Amino acid sequence: MRRRIVAGNWKMNKQFAEADDLINGISEQLREFDTTDVDVIVCPPYPFLELVSDVAEDAEFFVGAQNVAHFDDGAYTGEVSASMLKSLGVDYCIVGHSERRKYFCETNEQIAEKINRLLQQDITPIICVGESLEEREAGKHFDVIKQQVTEGIFHLKADDMQRCIIAYEPVWAIGTGKTATKEQAQEIHAFIRNLITEHYNDDVAQEVSILYGGSCNPKNAKDLFAMQDVDGGLIGGASLKAKDFIEIACSFE
């Protein structure tokens, strides 16, 4: 079933003491506000996963990582495997974020490998897709997203597809303050859902939550989340303030 989801991607921000404050702030805010129908996920940097996981034991949120190795455990210096994440109590993991595609040259093939490894460990992948400004201006956004979805995700069997979350994050909207309009978001979300229907079937498409990401904040979240195919958000900057993050999680009608 499509779930309402708000996930915070802290990216490479915060020192240990600040991360401690932030996660305890989020935990307190969650006690104050009713987010019963929403899955709240917090994705801190690797070194803070255990801290966040400990707080999550007594709080109403789930723990996510921001990345995972596309290899199984072994001699891969600097990498972190899906089984390691599992051993820390991680339930979700962001995959294929545009920053990883851009700065770390991640390919759709590697993203497919990461998704496989996460599913093997029963960790839910939050798979990011989205076009750059040049691609949108050239009218190529549908083609780009279709290719990312087809090459990165559609190798999965229907049962596994249903276990994934997709995040549409237009690169031009990330960290720029320039949010996609609710109509632009809905258009792409419906397009992605339709791709799933065509490749699998409508039952599968109705199981997959599709999140919007890119300058989502407490002011614009309500309008975006009200759109038919928008099931929630993947939040960057605004997830670094406990109050803003939980306000976004309370933005569903």
Binding site for ligand 13P (CB under 6 A): 9, 97, 169, 174-175, 213-216, 234-238
H/E segment holding residue 213: strand 209-213
Instruction: Quote the least distance from Cβ 75 to ligand 13P, whole Å.
Output: 30
**Residues with catalytic function:** 97, 169
Specify the residue, 19 or 214, whose C-beta has the smaller distance to ligand 13P: 214
Pairing of strands 38-43, 62-65: parallel
Smallest gap from Cβ 114 to ligand 13P, in A, equals 16
Cα angle for residues 137, 139, 145 (degrees, 5° grid): 105
CB of 67 to ligand 13P, least distance (A): 11
Determine how many CB atoms are found less than 10 A away from the CB of residue 221: 25
Cβ 240 to ligand 13P, closest distance in Å? Answer: 9
Q: Which residue is nearest to ligand 13P (CB)?
A: 236
Is the separation of the CB atoms in 7 and 249 below 8 Å?
no
Tokens of 41: 């996920």
- Nearest residue (CB) to ligand 13P, 171 versus 227: 171
167 versus 204: smaller Cβ distance to ligand 13P: 167
Q: Which is nearer to ligand 13P, 218 or 236 (CB)?
A: 236
Specify the DSSP element, H or E, that contains 75: none
Q: What is the DSSP string of 178-211?
A: -PPPHHHHHHHHHHHHHHHHHHS-HHHHTT-EEE
In DSSP notation, 223-236 reads: HHHTSTT--EEEES
Tell me the sheet residues that pair with 124. 92
- The least distance separating ligand 13P from the CB of residue 44, rounded to whole angstroms, comes to 13
For 225, other C-beta atoms within 10 Å of its C-beta total 24
Which residue number, 204 or 213, has a Cβ lying nearer to ligand 13P?
213
